[in-house]
Amino acid sequence: MANFKGHALPGSFFLVFGLWWSVKYPLKYFNSRNKGKCRSNKCFKRLELIEGIMKAVFSLIGILAEQFVPDGPHMHLVDSDEHSWVKLMNWQHTTMYFFFGLSGVVDILTYFPLNIPQGLDRLSLALAVFIEGLLFYFHVQNRPPLDQHIHSLLLIAVFGGSIGIMIEVFLRDNIVLEMFRSSLAILQGSWFWQIGFVLYPLGGAPEWDEKDHENIMFITMCFCWHYAVSLIIISMNYTLVYWCVRRNKGVAGDVTIGIRKLNPNNHGEAQAALLAASDEE
């Protein structure tokens, strides 16, 4: 959709997943550093299943929104009467959503014992992000300079994310790559919203001069600010998760010590439990 809603919708999707990843991966990372984590691994597998379902559902919502809005193509690609294409911009967005939905389906299938190769989920996501970049690269040809520039900045986040996710295929569970992906997803989400505000001002706001070079300079600087905010967000979430995990671990340790104190006569069992606890740490 060539309007504000058409940019706000994918922007919201990317923000949701970027914020979720910025909490999920630090939690998974700190949990993996503790021994005896089988139960937690099963929990994370379920979360990844839910994530895949959400990805597929969001993609379906995007496809339906692009196709069946009042001025949408309604699944018609060619106008046979006028021998012309029908709403190719909506079809491009639909194609983008389709590949993200396919990535969600792969996430769902990896949850079940189907002997799917490890890393296929990351590969499908990397391809979806790459397709997004490919579509947007040819999305703004012959448009005003500001329109072209603001979309080309989006491509930095898109192709950067695709490369990072592709590396994850071979370096799985790497917290640095996962947080890098989270930061670029948040950047994509906030920048989609920024594009909507610039190209389709709300509330009677003045329109931008799309040929003014100073506007292009400001938008470039604004893009850097967006990424700075993204980095601050993932840093805060990482720190909050760290302190929550550490605090819960301390509470669990206090409970264990209290139980030992309630059984002072059973010196042998208390000593064995203490040695086992020291080994886990």
Nearest to 227 by CA among 157, 151, 160, 147: 157
Residues counted in the chain: 281
DSSP type of residue 171: S
| For residues 240-254, average pLDDT | 76
pLDDT digits (tens, 9 = 90+) for 13-65: 999 999 999 999 999 999 887 754 555 667 778 888 899 999 999 999 999 99
Dist CA 34 CA 50 (whole Å): 24
| For residues 244-259, average pLDDT | 63
Nearest to 166 by CA among 187, 192, 184: 184
Dist CA 51 CA 20 (whole Å): 9
Instruction: Note the pLDDT of residue 40.
Output: 63
Enumerate the domain spans of the chain: 4-231
- Contact between 161 and 184 under an 8 Å Cβ cutoff? The reply is yes
85: β partners: 78
Nearest to 190 by CA among 241, 234, 236: 234
Instruction: Note the pLDDT of residue 107.
Output: 93
- Contact between 183 and 11 under an 8 Å Cβ cutoff? The reply is no
Instruction: Note the pLDDT of residue 277.
Output: 46
Dist CA 126 CA 166 (whole Å): 6
Return the ∠ at Cα 104 (arms to 103 and 106), rounded to 5°: 65
pLDDT digits (tens, 9 = 90+) for 104-154: 999 999 988 888 888 999 999 999 999 999 998 888 778 899 999 999 999
Report the 10 Å Cβ neighbour count for 83: 7
Q: Report CA Rg, the chain.
A: 24
Report the 10 Å Cβ neighbour count for 188: 27
